[in-house]
Structure 1
């Protein structure tokens, strides 16, 4: 039973390993990662949808300036008592009726509400398009930072693996001493403990590396675990000369979010003008053409005369004589569909004026609300200015600190390398004890990790500062 379970376990692990290998077959450069993110990232897609909606709103506001033309056509059958639309008489028969019309309505003046609405939507459209570009720039930065974080985590993992390899080599030496019962037996067990410690460091470093890759996967919105192509990626650390204030001044000129905020303020001001239009009369012209048809409509043609009794009588010499009357005989004919439509055709043209005398202070309150939106837009832009300036100052300070740490750690690594070299020789020759050796080794390992972290921390800060300057490559 246990043997069967082990076989199934081994097969499952082999299948998982094969799947994992397939998942990371794809190797991407930074440029390819950015391209995929721009295509798949949900934040970019959301900004694109909002920009498209703003475009449709702008197009609709321009169309609202055109006259409104509408047509109608009705056809029906009525049974029972009804009104003949041809004679307006009550009838009690089956009636087929139809009517059609064409109407036009055009606004001549409404306090420039339609014009200002078009201008407002044009500004909102431009702002949305800029915000879409800002979202693309933001995802470019985020992907770049995530990419660098993966490289950082990978470098730390490689250092941890190299550390374990060195410790295992020392373990082999001490194992020979231990087997031959020479040297201090505690040195061998201490090295075993150091191997376990180094293996733990690898587990932690690999977990950080996987988390960094998962973060990039989320930004790319892809389910595939990817590997990075880094052979052409330059990781140079050189002094950054531009001051924080100079970066902020460049951001004021180049950063698209500021421009979008300014457009939002202008659009909000147009909203005030739109609200004020409620104080003014609305003048519009209208016109229409209508006609109708009724199956009960008929024409009557005279066909001759006839003498008929009226039902009355007169008495003459004691004799009742009927009263006769001459009447005209008619032949009834239905009026055709086309003739009725021509005969019943009518037109209407008019001018409409609506004057707002009192509307429950709605116009006044709407103007106040739109002015508040202007103030909100101005405050939002001012807050953006303050936040960006503070962010640039903080990032620039952290960048400078990271560079200073990097330079200091370079010297520290050089010193610890020499110290480790000497202590390793002394330890292998039995001159020094294990404590001196392992202390020297740990100092070097930690200094190398700190140097790598300082290097990438500096590069990350530089990328952020370049982003605010308008450099997105």
Structure 2
């Protein structure tokens, strides 16, 4: 194969890939999965779970001893006291020190235990928050998906209506030429066709906007060619409508993430109160430290008589008045010991226990306890409010779903009557027994009835999804 054939093959392959991507139509399953993987809010919530996991590791670390090593090296230049002779001298000296210390909490009012329990609860709460956000995103995607399907079918209805009226316009022109209908009927029919064309444009715009909305919800970069498959949904009565709202609410209390989040936050508030109360109790700590040092100063290796003043009088004998003298010795200095030897000789250790008993601390502990109590009461109220909100939402969802089903059944009955009325009106218009205005009115009522059937259909499907959502049935069930 020559180079031209290779280049041509690569071009055809890349073109086919691009064409396949452009012609791709998304299913509801694909839309939901893509949103759950790429939505920015979900990514941010995932980071919150990561932070909660880090906080848990930090809480575990509080049980471990603290260990620290330190070292320093310094230079002293100028007039300084010689630590060997005790004299002030102009000199340059170097000092090196090293140390190691360990501390451990033996008892601190169970603060570490409560902090670990709180960290575990925070991790669970963050996971619940992530789950709730995923559920909300899935529900929004399903709503947008169904809105596109409705707009697609509505566009078909409007186009069919336009095609029918265009044919009717052609027939009206023939009837006018034959002298069957007046010119005013033809003008009315032309106006009707123009109105139908306008409705088609509005339906196309609504479809385009709904596609863009879902594409932006999925956060697709190339949303101009985005489209979904023409998925068909049958309108059947949901088994949940055969149950009572009370039974659905009891099921929702077991499954709904909102209550799980509120309950977990309540338990977190209880841990916070326990930690703040722990500050009333004594704290017992154990400690151990090791240190050593070295210097560049010369060391004393011996003593020798002062050659200029070998003795000094320190007193006299009373009876003989004889002076009492003592020899004057000067230290004999030698080179400093090797630094490792100094570290070995100068090492020291310190260990023990420290008990801290809180007595008065400006009411800080007391105010923290009171603040934690208020936060706990607020969490209890919030949990009760979430229960009431969930109950209201379940009863509302049940009523809306049942009402949407009744509305759809009524719309079907209306559509059937409008279809019969339109056929009767068409027969009369074709023989000249009905003017164009009345015929167009009958046709408009039929189109409105068709649109209402579509609207109530998808409204019922979405209301059913919400009711299933509260019952614990996922928006998308993986097969």
TM-score of the two chains, using structure 1 as the length reference:
0.86
- After the TM superposition, which of the residue ranges 153-162 and 332-341 deviates more from structure 2? 153-162
In structure 2, C-alpha distance between the alignment counterparts of 1:307 and 1:452, rounded to whole Å: 119
**Match for residue 139 of structure 2 among 130, 141, 150:** 141
After superposition, residues 12-411 of structure 1 pair within 5 angstroms as: 25-82=23-80, 90-178=88-176, 183-225=181-223, 226-231=226-231, 233-239=232-238, 240-301=241-302, 308-310=307-309, 330=332, 332-411=334-413
Q: How big is each residue's C-alpha offset from its partner over 1:345-378, in whole Å with a ceiling of 9 and x where there is no partner?
A: 1111021111111111111111111111111111
Deviation, structure 1 residue 203: 2.6
CA gap of 1:180–1:272, structure 2 versus 1, over 3 A, is same
What is the distance in 2 between the residues matched to 1:371 and 1:307? 79
Deviation for aligned residue 1:134: 1.8
TM-score (norm 2): 0.85
Q: Who is 1:14 aligned against?
A: none
Contact 1:420 1:441 survives alignment (8 Å): yes
Task: Provide the aligned C-alpha RMSD in A.
Answer: 2.7
Aligned to 1:443: 445
Task: Summarize the Cα distance change of 1:52–1:221 in structure 2 as closer, same or farther, 3 Å threshold.
Answer: same
Deviates more, 1:412-421 or 1:274-283: 412-421
Which digits, 9 at most, give the CA deviation of each residue in 1:34-66, with x for residues without a partner? Answer: 111111222212221222211111110111111
Measure, in 1, the Cα distance between the counterparts of 2:268 and 2:80: 56
The answer (yes or no) to whether the contact 1:420–1:444 under 8 Å persists in 2 is: yes
Q: CA deviation at 1:311?
A: 8.8
* Cα distance in structure 2, aligned partners of 1:307 and 1:42: 87
What corresponds to 2:455 in structure 1?
453
CA deviations on 1:400-435 (whole Å, 9 max, x unpaired) are 111111111112111211221232233233232213
State the secondary structure of the residue aligned to 1:292.
strand
Do the aligned residues in 1 keep the contact of 2:401 with 2:467 (CA within 8 Å)?
A: no
Match of 2:423 among 421, 436, 441: 421
> Alpha carbons of 1:93 and 1:329: their partners in 2 closer, same or farther (altered >3 Å)?
closer
What does residue 3 of structure 2 align with?
none
Counterpart-to-counterpart distance in 1, 2:376 and 2:355 = 31
Cα gap change, 1:85/1:61 in structure 2, threshold over 3 Å: closer, same or farther?
Answer: farther
Q: Contact (CA 8 Å) 2:290, 2:349: kept in 1 or not? A: yes
> Contact conserved, 1:399 with 1:462, CA < 8 A, in 2?
yes
Query: Is the 2:132–2:258 Cα contact (8 Å) retained in structure 1?
Result: yes
Equivalent pairs, count: 442
Partner Cα separation in structure 2 for residue 88 and residue 150 of structure 1: 94
Larger deviation: 63-72 or 384-393?
384-393
- Per the TM alignment, residue 180 of structure 1 is displaced from its structure 2 partner at its CA by 6.2
Q: In the superposition, relative to structure 1, how do residues 293 and 90 fare at CA in structure 2: closer, same or farther (>3 Å)?
A: farther
Q: Which deviates further from its counterpart, 144-153 or 79-88?
A: 79-88
CA shift for structure 1 position 86: 6.8
Q: In structure 2, how many angstroms separate the alpha carbons of the residues matched to 1:76 and 1:179?
A: 116
Deviations 1:162-189 (A, max 9, x none): 2112111212222344466653211221
**SS of 1:92's equivalent?**
strand
Give the direction of change, closer, same or farther, for the CA distance of 1:380–1:24 in structure 2 (3 Å limit): farther
Name the CA distance, whole Å, in 1 between partners of 2:331 and 2:203. 113
Query: 1: CA distance between counterparts of 2:372 and 2:228?
Result: 51
Could you tell me which runs of 5 or more consecutive residues in structure 2 were left unpaired when the two chains were aligned: 1-18, 313-324
- Cα distance 1:57–1:87, how it changes in 2: closer, same or farther (>3 A)? farther
Distance in 2, matches of 1:388 and 1:306, equals 99
Once residues 205 and 81 of structure 2 are traced to their aligned partners in structure 1, the CA distance between those partners, rounded to angstroms, is: 86
Following the alignment from structure 1 to structure 2, what is the Cα–Cα distance between the partners of residues 307 and 364?
A: 71
Equivalent position of 2:16 in the other structure: none
Contact kept? 2:188, 2:437, Cα under 8 Å = no
Q: CA deviation at 1:337?
A: 0.9
- Asked if structure 2 preserves the Cα contact closer than 8 Å seen for 1:102 and 1:290, the reply is yes
- Gaps in structure 1 of 5+ consecutive residues: 1-20, 314-322
Distance 1:356 1:249 in 2: 48
> Is the Cα contact below 8 Å between 2:309 and 2:328 reproduced in 1?
no
